Amino acid sequence: MTDGARTLTADEIRAALGRLGELASGAGEEIHLVALGGVVMVLAYGHRESTRDVDAVFRRPRPTAPIRRWAIRVAQEHSLPIDWLNDGVKGYVGEAPPEGVEIFSAVGITVVAARPEVMLGSKLAAFRDVVDRSDARRILEDLAGSKIEVWQRIEPYVQPPAALTKACYAFDELWDEIRGDD
């Protein structure tokens, strides 16, 4: 978000998702999304004020082409970036990441967060900047268990596998900052 790109606040996200649900409902459809990244940090954790986009795995409807069409319409109506809603994250977490809590629901749409372990695995694999670091730290603060137990729950979600060493070092660093040598 330091690049000057437009960001979306919680209210803007909710309005856009609500409109997306209206469009789906008007077409007799129900959208189900599994959200990851910044949108979860904004809506579920209240950890950030904004995010650049809504990263989500599109679960329903199938095929997903209608979601893309409705998202473009919402972008035009709300003056949002054309890719405000995208499913590029599925390349890192697959088509069926384990679901966590519901973070948004309205007519025609339900959005759930991916489980915290999935979120943390992706943040540790990326660990690109202060935002990833801050997000990872916030997620890790909520996970219970010993260092080994928590790592074992996160490790399967570190993608791509080539990022495993980087993620392990990042996890160790954050764990020590938060909990010391537990």
Element (H, E) at 42: helix 38-43
Q: pLDDT band at residue 95, thresholds of 50, 70 and 90? A: confident
* 18 vs 2, residue with greater confidence: 18
The two structure tokens encoding residue 46: 């209240």
Q: What is the pLDDT of residue 82?
A: 96
Mean pLDDT of the chain: 94
User: pTM higher than 0.85 for the full model?
Assistant: yes
Q: What is the pLDDT of residue 2?
A: 39
H-only helix segments in 49-108? 65-78, 90-93
Q: Residue 173 pLDDT more than 60?
A: yes
Q: What is the pLDDT of residue 4?
A: 55
Give the residue extent of every domain in the chain. Answer: 8-114, 118-179
- Residue 121's identity, in one-letter code, is G
Q: pLDDT band at residue 137, thresholds of 50, 70 and 90? A: very high
Query: According to the 3-state scheme, what is the secondary structure of 97-159?
Result: CCEEEEEEEECCEEEEEECHHHHHHHHHHHCCCHHHHHHHHHHHHHCCCCHHHHHHHHHHHCC
